[in-house]
Amino acid sequence: MVTFKLNQAEVRVDAPATSPLLFVLANDLGVNGVKYGCGRSQCGSCTVLIDGEPVRSCQTPVSAAAGRSVTTLEGLLEGGKPSKLQQAFIDEQAAQCGYCAAGMIMQAQALLDRNPAPSESDVRTSLNGNLCRCGAHNRIVRAVLRAAKEA
């Protein structure tokens, strides 16, 4: 049994300690905002926050979440509505296929939490490890900058 907070709610899951957090979130806990991309920690689509730090959940064992706080895309909602960052992604049309969006948003949220007024260079550097196959990077950067201005 592994116990942790998922989007501010205590959860307890019966899974092997070495199971990838991604699969426990998606399969055992029904979280839809975490995506399997490459399975090698290289694309970023599976990014979640553990105690505010971005991690690739495809290569992070569920045991790493024990006693900690895990935040997924769903955990960013504010009163059931999109957060400022999520709304900025919508307003800037920053997702085409949307597959990378959850990971991009989670990585960007970690950046904004530690640097509420990032430069464009800061945003690009932070998102460098997250891949978008649709080529929406410029819109994604604009969305993060927009959210920073509106915060």
Q: What are the boundaries of each domain within the chain? A: 2-76, 84-150
Encode pLDDT of 86-137 as tens digits. 999 999 999 888 889 999 999 999 999 999 999 999 999 999 999 999 999 9
Encode pLDDT of 33-67 as tens digits. 999 999 999 999 999 999 999 999 999 999 999 99
**CATH superfamily placement of domain 2-76:** Beta-grasp domain (3.10.20.30)
pTM of the model: 0.96
User: E strand or H helix at 71, and its extent?
Assistant: strand 69-71
Q: What is residue 58's predicted lDDT score, i.e. its pLDDT? A: 98
Pick the CATH number of 84-150 from 3.30.420.80, 1.10.150.120, 3.40.50.970, 3.50.50.60: 1.10.150.120
Contact 102, 35 (CB under 8 A): yes
Q: Exposed, middle or buried: residue 102 (CB in 10 Å: 0-12, 13-18, 19+)?
A: buried
DSSP 1-65: -EEEEETTEEEEE---TTSBHHHIIIIIS---S---S-SSSSS-TTEEEETTEEEETTSSBGGGG
